[in-house]
Structure 1
Amino acid sequence: MLKRIILALGVAMATGAGAETMHKGYEMPPYTVDWQDGTREIRSYGPHLLAEVKVSGSRSGAIQKGFRVLAGYIFGGNASGEKIAMTVPVAQTPEPGGETWIVSFMMPARYTTDTLPAPRSEAIRFVKAGPSRQLVERFSGIPGTDTLADRAEALRAWAKQQGYEILAGPHYYFYDAPMTLPWKRRNEVAFTIR
């Protein structure tokens, strides 16, 4: 354990890395990079609050539907009409055994479950995400369902080869607006690991 802490501190000092909390001016879940090799990283995420919805259907249909519900909430479609700042990434995780997906937005750090306005939609729930460790691969482009699945399987196989235990995932993270040029987009596939 002490070796891991020393290694993480050494990486942070060598790269000048602190907690990552912003992407293109948008707040994101706080994390530190514990290890990096090219486009792959192991990150330690801090606790944060999520608004999420469960959506059935195809991956692409579910992200669109889930995004609309959550965007409606943060753009004032809540009990008080309060607008909440957009954050990144929009996250999507498949539920085991079917065509059901969890789509989520991180809520800005200034909010708690007590201070967030109540949603008008019963589909929205708030979840406190605890600290986690994730294996993440970053890539650009406009990823389709097959591309995401292929990347997830390759990352899963690599994690298994390296001896990491996968606890959850794959998680798909999308950071940029639809009008962003494909080569400027930030997308990620991740697994929660131990």
Structure 2
Amino acid sequence: MTLRQRLTHVAVAPNLVSYCLTMTEHQRYEVVSEFPGFELRRYEPHVLARVSVVGTFERAGSDAFRPLVSYLGGRNERAQKIAMTAPVLQESPVGRGSHDVSFVMPADASYEALPQPSDPSVTLEPHGVEWAAAARFSGRWTEQIFLEHASTLNDSVSAAGLTITGSARFARFDPPWTPWFLRHNEVVIPVMPPAGG
């Protein structure tokens, strides 16, 4: 690690502690059905603040953190502070060669009401109602562990007769200093709503 990278980590650390300690609101959803190994959820409309980064899966979260937390801390058109919620999402769209890391905006904040980011690397994305399969697990934040759980969930979703509509994403609910065996992680795969859903 270079001196500049070390100084960057030191500068970001106080913000990391401050925001993670107040990360109490969770993304809202309804558990519609329970299947062996996963839940079928209906997520409420929401807004994501997203950054795309090139690099390893393991580095993506760290590289995207600074612009995202800076947006929440007031680096936006209104210098407005925004509460951090859980989870932090990470997705690696097929064929893109990059990783999308997103913060979920507070449930009461609409796209129109949120201030636009001052940093062009941060993008706000409104999302409507979303159906998804989700499985919880603990463990380290490595690509291998994520891919293993994503593969298992993919097989379980297919066995349940549900249709997958997008890439798997990794959801992290805890700050990085949480012991790996206590971490609340999830793998989430978007699906078509069942008939009558």
Residues 1:171 and 2:163 aligned together: no
What are the equivalent positions in structure 2 for 1:1-194 lying under 5 Å apart?
A: 26-37=24-35, 40-194=38-192
**Structure with greater strand percent:** 1
How far did 1:42 drift?
A: 0.9
Q: How many residues align?
A: 171
How far did 1:115 drift?
A: 2.4
TM-score for both structures, normalised by structure 1: 0.81
Unaligned ranges ≥5, structure 1: 1-23
Aligned partners of 1:134, 1:92: CA distance in 2, in Å? 15
Please tell me the root mean square deviation across aligned C-alpha atoms, in Å.
1.8
Aligned partners of 1:192, 1:111: CA distance in 2, in Å? 23
Aligned partners of 1:86, 1:106: CA distance in 2, in Å? 8
Aligned partners of 2:156, 2:73: CA distance in 1, in Å? 40
Aligned partners of 1:58, 1:82: CA distance in 2, in Å? 32
Unaligned ranges ≥5, structure 2: 1-21, 193-197
In the other structure, the counterpart of 2:6 is none
How far did 1:25 drift?
A: 6.2
TM-score for both structures, normalised by structure 2: 0.80
Per-residue CA deviations over 1:67-99 (Å, capped at 9, x if unaligned) read 221111102222332211111100011111142
- Secondary structure in 2 aligned to 1:73? helix
Q: Is the 8 A contact 1:164 1:193 kept in 2?
A: yes
